[in-house]
Amino acid sequence: MDTMCRIKEKKTIHPFAYRTHTHSLGKVVSGYKVRANDGDIDDWTLLGKRDPLTPQMFYPVMNNDTIETGDMLAARCTMESNRDDWTMIGATNKDEMCNFYLMYWVDKTTTFGDEILLHAGAPLLLVEN
């Protein structure tokens, strides 16, 4: 399960901590900063990767490089299911979700707008980690 959003606002994001969350089927949640380069392949920088069923607390990011306008934030969840029925995305225990929380600070006193952007996810996202 993949998702990503492009940072459109002219801000520099300074990440410092992350947290992961799924329900019972989650095995690994990873968060990335994705930056386009001059070639055909984007640069993916791992921000955090964790078993979402370990204690739910914030952990220091694995790479605290800044995130700039035009960069993308991506999350990838690996799930494992032996269920006989479909699992839907939702808030209950019979559902599943993929959350990668990122704590950060920005320069100045302005906050981000409310715009939400999502990417269709796989099969268009290819990550080697």
* Binding-site residue positions: 21, 23, 97
Taking a C-beta distance cutoff of 8 angstroms, is the pair 103, 50 a contact? no
Give the CA radius of gyration of the chain: 15
- Within 13 Å, how many C-alpha atoms sit on residue 14's CB side? 4
* Binding-site residue positions for Cu(2+): 21, 23, 97
CA distances from 75 to 28, 44, 85 (A): 10, 11, 25
